[in-house]
Amino acid sequence: MRERVLTGIDGLDKMLNGGIPKFNQVVIAGGPGTGKTLLCLEYLYKNALAGETCILFSLEEESKMILENMKEAYGQFSEIDRLIAEHKLIIKGTDQASSLIQKDKKGNIFTFTTTIADIESVIIEYSATRVAIDSVSVMKLFVKDPFEYRSVSTSLVTMLRKQNVTSLLSMEIETPEKEKLIFEPEFFIYDGIIVMYLSGAVEENRVPTVEIIKMRGTPHSFSTVPYEITANGINLLLIPRRE
């Protein structure tokens, strides 16, 4: 069996039959506000606690806001500041040159190749083993041509594989509802796809659920499982199996 990397979310690790196969590059797809960023942060926090060097590259938010939101949501994650001070948990937001989609002096936006190279050099600088990129959808805003977008996505995944990291890459999908999920062509590039939904009619209580669409290297559950975001992390409401 391939070595596993725990997500740190018990229910999800159970669904994955023991965790993510090491070195997989896994997409966390979901609609707005489903908890993609928080899931990535929990993965990094739990792995940092276990002694791994973990980096979040945010292409959307500034480091300060990410940290504030993380502490607000995860009130019981008491080791955040220590892990950051020890460079076990590293947050590179849009304010940090390394993960910025920067403009050069003439105002031209750098190509994404530059960003991928920047991400790679930070991974090497810290000898990171766990990475999250939040979100890869930002690339779509800059790379309009679908073929070029696939090519850039492939370059990113190839770089992450070369650096021997196990990564989560968040991706926005247009609909948060399971019934309307469209399989994006770029889904095929990644080793795993986990989708976070917000199901149910607007007028009723919407229930967030999670489903593993694919995960190379392991059998996994195909169930769609409700979850809640608590001060102690994401909690999957798994129904215990009858013996």
Ligand X SMILES: Nc1ncnc2c1ncn2[C@@H]1O[C@H](COP(=O)(O)OP(=O)(O)OP(=O)(O)O)[C@@H](O)[C@H]1O
**Dihedral-angle region of residue 136 (phi above 0 means left; psi in -120 to 50 means alpha; beta otherwise):** alpha
DSSP characters for 126-158? HT-SEEEEE-THHHHHH--SHHHHHHHHHHHHH
Binding span for ligand X by CB under 6 A among 28-36, 91-99, 105-113, 185-193: 28-36
Per rule CB under 6 A, is residue 93 in the interface with ligand X? no
Q: Residue length, the chain?
A: 243
Name the residue nearer to ligand X (CB basis): 8 or 30.
30
Burial 165-204 (b: 16+ CB within 10 A, else e): bbbbbbbbbeebeeeebeebebbebbbbbbbbbbeeeeee
Whether 25 and 167 have beta carbons less than 8 Å apart is answered as yes
Per rule CB under 6 A, is residue 37 in the interface with ligand X? yes
Residue with structure tokens 């609909």?
175
What's the min distance (Å) between Cβ of 229 and ligand X? 4
Binding mask 55-74 for ligand X (x = CB under 6 A): -----------------xx-
Per rule CB under 6 A, is residue 233 in the interface with ligand X? no
Q: 98 touches which of Mg ion, ligand X, none (CB within 5 to 8 A by kind)?
A: none
Q: Which of 7, 24, 37, 209 binds Mg ion (CB under 5 A)?
A: 37
Per rule CB under 5 A, is residue 47 in the interface with Mg ion? no
Binding span for ligand X by CB under 6 A among 9-17, 33-41, 124-132, 148-156: 33-41
Write out the E strands in the chain. Answer: 4-5, 20-21, 25-30, 54-58, 89-92, 130-134, 166-172, 192-199, 207-215, 224-230, 233-236
Per rule CB under 6 A, is residue 169 in the interface with ligand X? no
Binding span for Mg ion by CB under 5 A among 8-16, 29-37, 90-98, 119-127: 29-37
Rule CB under 6 A: which residues touch ligand X? 30, 32-38, 72-73, 172, 229
Rule CB under 5 A: which residues touch Mg ion? 36-37
